[in-house]
């Protein structure tokens, strides 16, 4: 089951709970939540880019051993 309804300002989605296990639906929900947060954020572009760099570095530090052992 999948239904949607639009108004001038909103879109309402209605779908079966079984779709909540779908990675695509989860990604869509997360993306929409992030976009919503960004619309009310006080961060400017420079702050966002700095945060992006910090997150990438943090991720790499947490996962580099796994990747490096696969290529050695």
pTM given for the model: 0.54
- List, for residues 15-51, the tens digit of each pLDDT value: 898 888 888 888 898 989 988 888 888 888 898 889 8
Alpha-carbon dihedral 32, 33, 38, 42, rounded to 10 degrees: 170
Q: For the chain, what's the residue count?
A: 72
Average pLDDT over residues 5-14: 94
55 falls in which pLDDT band (50, 70, 90)?
very high
What residue ranges do the domains of the chain occupy? 1-32, 42-72
Do residues 1 and 16 make contact, with C-beta atoms less than 8 angstroms apart?
yes
Question: For residues 28 and 51, what is the distance between their CA atoms, to the nearest angstrom?
Answer: 22
């Amino acid at each position: 089951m999948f239904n949607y309804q639009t108004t001038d300002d909103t879109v309402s989605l209605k779908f079966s709970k079984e779709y909540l296990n779908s990675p695509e639906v989860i990604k869509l929900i997360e993306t929409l939540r992030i976009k919503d947060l960004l619309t009310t954020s006080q961060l400017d572009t420079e702050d966002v880019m700095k945060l992006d760099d910090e997150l990438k570095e943090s991720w790499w530090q947490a996962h580099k051993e796994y990747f490096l052992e696969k290529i050695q």
